[in-house]
Structure formats: C-alpha cells, structure tokens
Amino acid sequence: MTDLIDSLRAIVGAPNVLTDGDLGAWEQDWRKRARGKALAVVRPADTAQVAAVVKACAAAGTAIVPQGGNTGLAVGAIPDDSGTQVVLSLTRMNAIRGIDAANLTVTVEAGCVLQTLQEAADQAGFLFPLSLAAEGSCTIGGNLATNAGGTQVVRYGNTRELCLGLEVVTAQGEVWDGLTGLRKDNTGYDLRDLLVGSEGTLGVITAATMKLYPRPAAQLTAWAAVPSFDAAVDLLGLAHRQLGPGLTGFEVMGRFALSLVGKHMPQLRVPFIGDETVPGLPPGRPKTSPAPSGGSEAHEVASVGAPYFVLLENSDSESEDHARARFEALLETAFEAGCVTDAVVAESLSQAHELWHIRESIPMAQAEEGLNIKHDISIPVSRIPAFCAETDALLAREIPGVRLVNFGHLGDGNLHYNVQAPAEGDAKAFLRDQEERVNALVYEQVAKYGGSFSAEHGIGGLKVGTLEKHKSPAALSMMRAIKQALDPRGILNPGRVLRA
C-alpha cells in the first residue's frame, strides 16, 4: 500500500493524507456505535483531485468511504476495521460557487456545512429550507447522499426535492457534470435522483445545484398541548386547511421525551411540563382563543397532563400581522374542536429559537439518559395513532418497564420511535440483550401499518440485514444490478446499503 499512499500524497499534498495520530474524528461514527480503522484519510481540495484519488484507488483495488461531516446515524460513513479502506473526506471542498438569483438556485460544493449555506442564502435575500439538528456540522454532500429530511419536509420536501443537479465522480474516476439548474429535463434516466440517497455507493457527489426560495416576510412558531395522538393528527389536518403552504413545520413530541429534556437540560424550561415555560414566553393560550369548558383550573390540569405536544411553524409571504391573525385563528379553531388544550405563540425570533431548541435537544437528552434503541420510521399519517397505541402496548407487554421516547416530524409521517431501558435497568445490557428483539417487534408493526423502517437516516451498515428482510426480492435484484453496473469492482462504500 506504500505506492498508493505515495500516489495520494502526490495528488492532494502530503499534509492532506493522514495516516498517523488520532483519526477518531473520521473513524468513529457520531453515535459511537462503531469504530473502524482507515488506511488513510484523504482530503482533496477540488473535483479534479477527487477524480484522481478515485482512479488511484481503483487501480490499486482499494475501497473508498466518502465522508462529509460524519454526523450520520446509520454507520454509513466510517471505514471497516480492516485498515485497508481510504476515507475520502470532502470537507475542504466547501465553496459556494454561485447564486443565480433569477433562477432561484445556488451551486455549492459537497463539503459546505449546511448552516453556512443557510446563512449565505439568507444574506442574499433567499431561503434554503433544509433544516435539521446537525446543521452546524453536517455537509450538503452528506445531506444528498442520505436524502436527509429534517423539520420542513412538510412544505419543501426532502433533500432530493431541493436538488436540481449534481456533479459526481464515478467509480472509474470520471466526472459527470450534471450541475444543471433546470426544473424540466426529460433526457433519459434521472441520474440525479439515482445518486441522491445512494449513500456513496454509486458515486462521489462533489457539488450540487440546489433550489432557493423567497425569504418569508413572517415566520411564527407555536407550542401546543394536545390530549391524544389522534388530536395531533386532527390539528395537522386543520393546519393544512387553514394555513395551506404556509405550514412549514409540524413536530410531535411525547411527554416522556420532553421530560428527559427537563431532567438533563434544566436550563431549557419546557412549556406545559409541570409549571415550567420558556423564559420570557407568555404562558397560556393566545388571547384570541376561548377557554375550554370547565374553567381555568380544569384548563391547567389538562395542559399539565397532556400526553403529547406539537410544535408548529407558519411562514407567510405577507405581513407578520397577517400571519399572526391566521395562526391565532387556527389555534382558536383547534381549541373549539378539542384537539388543543393549551398553546403559546412565540412573540419574537429568539423565543421561537428557544422552542425549536427544546425540540432539537431531545436526542441529546435521551443520550444522557443512557444507550437506547433508535428507530427512524415512517407511517401514513392517518395510521400513526393506531400504530403507536398498538406498538406501545406490545412493547410494554413484552418488556415490562420499557420507556418510549416518541417524537418526530408528524407533518410528513416520520417518527423517531426510540426505546429506552427501564428506569432502574442497565442501559448497556438492555441495548446488548434487547436490540434485536425490539427491532423485530417494531419493524413488524411498521410493515403491518404500511410504513418504512428507514425514513430519513438511510441504511448505512446498520440496517443492511433489515433491508434484505423487508424489501422485495424484485427491488433488491434491481438495486444489486444498479450497483454492479456503476461500481462493478465494489470499491465505493462497500457493505453499505447492500451487502458487500
């Protein structure tokens, strides 16, 4: 392998070929579920260098693991433990190549951090709507490779829907320049859609042309207590009808999930959990909303005991007064319909950020509670309440004391249906002894309700066996044929998505 290392150093420069020292930032996954050992970490500066690196590795028969911010949750961007794979880190390729204001597009390199792109779009007077908890460190290339979702899919779609064109290095080291800003292009197979979501197994994404949107004139956020999951779905229906495309976020959070935030992050005061509220945020329902029957005392009891909570976002192209009037009219209707027991509307951008920060802190709070079994599932929205009721009861019966951390993007049917060990149990032992059993129970329920076991996190190396079990033989056969055609030597991220 010495000759290959020398070749790689000649291509990208010796300082950008890392073989010694602590390589944990590239070799260990974000959840610390696995750690591999790389032959080298290679950091190219441009597309030509990526192509040359891939050609050199292909000639040597060496596998390549493309990597962005390494924030994935399915063990899809780290090397195996053989010490023979090259990690291709794209973080040096972080330029925003240009914004086409008239075409409402931006062309950006794969290593650009998502938050950097959001800020650049905002400074230019536009909105780039992809938003997720890891946006301060995840990269556009990784977002595209996993077809990331996030909090605004209900309005703007997954990353695939935001992408108009790609620049990709193939397994042979050739460059496909597909950086078109076209919204209509029926010229054969859609290679863009094939590469998005392929997790680095079919090609290395080096740049992309992404959609931009006009920046909304007003953006309002509300936090609502709901008496049941059915009520949350009813509220979603009302929001669709009354806000239309103005509905840009709709998150659901179980009471226990939020109690973990309160326990491990007491500086974040969670609305309607006990007596707490967000600092500076006016408590109680909007003044335009009528009190529920039973008086204020019954109203407070209902709110404090609510099993689920919803975070709504409304974006409007008109004035803030217009947006607020529509938003408060929605909540008034929701109170009258009985699907909301209490609500607060953020009075400022900082208060809105505080509410979103509470929602985005659930995964970290859960991690503080101990190792857990994570599920990234999607179910038709209409069937989610029945799925949760039945699966909650099933797990409680099969594993007494188990705790469910249920939250996610109800607006697009994606739940993070996570399972925590019993309160006095050993979290590590629970993960070791129960993960396979819990996964089987949950995924059988997902299939029963017509859902998917992987909504936005991808397959990676963690769910290869699950894919083989739940995908049809015909679908798997087509996937394998595509992999064989585009990467016949199997050097691109082997063992991810499909078994090596």
Per the DSSP assignment, residues forming a β-bridge with 417 are 406
Do 238 and 339 fall into the same domain?
yes
Residue 285: its pLDDT value, please?
46
Predicted confidence band of residue 274 (pLDDT cuts 50, 70, 90): low
pLDDT at 303 over 80: no
CATH of the domain at 78: 3.30.43.10
Distance CA 4, CA 408 (A): 45
Q: Using one digit for the tens of pLDDT, what is the confidence trace for 427-456?
A: 999 999 999 999 999 999 999 999 999 999
Nearest to 323 by CA among 236, 243, 249: 243
Q: Tell me if 33 is assigned to some domain.
A: yes
Nearest to 359 by CA among 281, 249, 455: 249
Of 54 and 348, more confident = 54
Alpha helices in 196-270 (DSSP H): 229-243, 255-264
Distance CA 344, CA 127 (A): 26
What element of type H or E holds 330? helix 320-337
Of 478 and 321, more confident = 478
Do 59 and 122 fall into the same domain?
no
Q: Using one digit for the tens of pLDDT, what is the confidence trace for 361-394?
A: 999 999 999 999 999 999 999 999 999 999 999 9
CATH of the domain at 420: 3.30.70.2740
CATH of the domain at 268: 3.30.70.2190
SS3 222: strand
Do 146 and 272 fall into the same domain?
no
Do 267 and 355 fall into the same domain?
yes
What element of type H or E holds 475? helix 473-486
Listed residues 448, 465, 486: the one ending a domain: 448
pTM, entire model: 0.90
Q: Tell me if 488 is assigned to some domain.
A: no
SS3 481: helix
Q: Tell me if 156 is assigned to some domain.
A: yes
Do 283 and 355 fall into the same domain?
yes
pLDDT at 211 over 90: yes
Do 183 and 227 fall into the same domain?
no
Nearest to 259 by CA among 414, 132, 369: 369
- Mean pLDDT of the 329-355 span: 94
- Mean pLDDT of the 313-321 span: 85
Question: What is the DSSP secondary-structure string of 407-418?
Answer: EEEGGGTEEEEE
Residue 320: its pLDDT value, please?
83
Listed residues 346, 363, 380: the one ending a domain: 363
Per the DSSP assignment, residues forming a β-bridge with 160 are none
- Mean pLDDT of the 163-171 span: 98
Q: Tell me if 490 is assigned to some domain.
A: no
Predicted confidence band of residue 155 (pLDDT cuts 50, 70, 90): very high
pLDDT at 20 over 70: yes
Q: Tell me if 485 is assigned to some domain.
A: no
Q: Tell me if 500 is assigned to some domain.
A: no
Residue 279: its pLDDT value, please?
42
* Domain carrying residue 326: 218-363
pLDDT at 164 over 50: yes
pLDDT at 9 over 90: yes
Of 299 and 89, more confident = 89
Listed residues 333, 363, 393: the one ending a domain: 363
The encoded tokens of residue 146 equal: 């996993």
Mean pLDDT of the chain: 92
- Cα distances from 363 to residues 234, 310, 371, 485, in angstroms, run 26, 17, 11, 39
